[in-house]
């Protein structure tokens, strides 16, 4: 384990969190290298609440190509609102292990490997160390993984909040053909190669103009700087295997029989102006849920947590209404703690 208090000096591999003046490391946390059952090492971190009373623990489930540093603002806010926090990098991104020779490739051999990651984090960090109740807060690909876990009833959470979950990919013009092609190439043993025309460049470092992720230029610039700082941790395009597995996972969730089987209380927040994942497919899925509901944030692009203040305020209102626990910190406490992180 490694302690950190906002310092940005180098530590041993997997025991480093990087900060910038606009994106400081949340102080008072603990870093842990978590081993999975298939010998993969993950970077994980946890923080206790900074409020007077703890309302439970929120476990952050990243989207594809993300990393812990991208969530510092959200971690600050959750702690001020009374929650402890667990964050980790999925295998194949951030500072977690790679199973391919190029660390810029966003790769996983099977989507079920992500289940092994979350299981290891739950057994090593969440269950033995963190206060209950445990809540999942999942974004994009993390939302897809979490909803599959809810479908198969293995999630270690009492409730789940999924933001812009990946049930379809709008950036792919002919998804049916892409699914067939990626599976065929995977069967030919080409799964570890980049998708056609794939590059080792993080989407987070693209220019703000025309970006698909956020309408907030300040948060976008902050995350771009964080992505440049973590280097290969902010991976580039995915591999053929990742894409083939993603299509299989999304198809399972879009099956009309899937959503009604989920019994975990679930809140889905969809981005109404999402150019990355298909909001219409998300709405159809949510309409079939028996233990959940959906809120569409009309003006939001894909990354709700890095959007403009007005959109994030809608997110927090929905989250507070859904999260268990009533021991809310005062408004002054939330503002005082959150002021450490610049906002637009």
Residue 122: exposed, middle, or buried by beta-carbon count in 10 A (0-12, 13-18, 19+)? Answer: buried
* Length of the chain (residues): 344
Enter the CATH code of domain 2-338.
3.40.50.1820
pLDDT per residue, tens digit, the chain (344 aa), is 443 333 333 344 557 999 999 999 999 999 999 999 999 999 999 999 999 999 999 999 999 999 999 999 999 999 999 999 999 999 999 999 999 999 999 999 999 999 999 999 999 999 999 999 999 999 999 999 999 999 999 999 999 999 999 999 998 889 999 999 999 999 999 999 999 999 999 999 999 999 999 999 999 999 999 999 999 999 999 999 999 999 999 999 999 999 999 999 999 999 999 999 999 999 999 999 999 999 999 999 999 999 999 999 999 999 999 998 644 443 344 444 444 443 33
What gap in Å lies between CA 192 and CA 185, rounded to an integer?
A: 10
Listed by start position, the domains of the chain span 2-338
């Amino acid at each position: 384990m490694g302690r950190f208090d906002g310092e940005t000096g180098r530590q041993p591999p997997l025991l480093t969190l990087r900060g910038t003046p606009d994106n400081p490391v949340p102080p008072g946390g603990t870093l842990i290298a978590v081993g999975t059952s298939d010998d993969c090492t993950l970077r994980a971190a946890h923080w206790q609440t900074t409020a007077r009373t703890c309302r439970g623990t929120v476990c952050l489930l990243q989207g594809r190509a993300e990393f812990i540093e991208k969530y510092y603002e959200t971690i600050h806010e959750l702690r001020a609102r009374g929650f402890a926090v667990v964050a980790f990098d999925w295998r194949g991104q951030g500072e977690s292990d790679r199973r391919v020779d190029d660390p810029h490739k966003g790769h996983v051999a099977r989507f079920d490997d992500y289940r092994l990651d979350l299981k290891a984090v739950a057994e090593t960090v969440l269950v033995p160390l963190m206060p209950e109740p445990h809540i999942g807060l999942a974004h994009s690909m993390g939302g897809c993984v979490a909803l599959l876990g809810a479908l198969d009833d293995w999630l270690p959470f009492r409730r789940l909040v999924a933001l812009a979950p990946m049930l379809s990919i709008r950036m792919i013009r002919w998804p049916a053909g892409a699914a067939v092609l990626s599976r065929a190439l995977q069967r030919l043993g080409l799964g570890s190669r980049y998708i056609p025309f794939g590059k080792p460049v993080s989407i987070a470092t693209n220019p703000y103009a025309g970006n698909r992720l956020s309408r907030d230029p300040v948060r976008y610039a902050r995350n771009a700087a964080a992505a440049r700082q973590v280097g290969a941790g902010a991976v580039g395009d995915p591999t053929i295997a990742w894409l083939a597995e993603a299509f299989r996972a999304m198809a399972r969730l879009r099956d009309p029989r899937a959503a009604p089987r989920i019994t975990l209380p679930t809140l889905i927040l969809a981005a109404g102006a999402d150019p990355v994942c298909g909001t219409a497919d998300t709405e159809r899925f949510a309409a079939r849920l028996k233990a959940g509901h959906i809120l569409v944030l009309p003006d939001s692009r894909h990354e709700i947590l890095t959007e403009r203040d007005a959109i994030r305020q809608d997110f927090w209102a929905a989250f507070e209404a859904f999260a268990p626990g009533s021991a809310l910190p005062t408004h002054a406490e939330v503002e005082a703690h959150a002021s450490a992180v610049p906002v637009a």
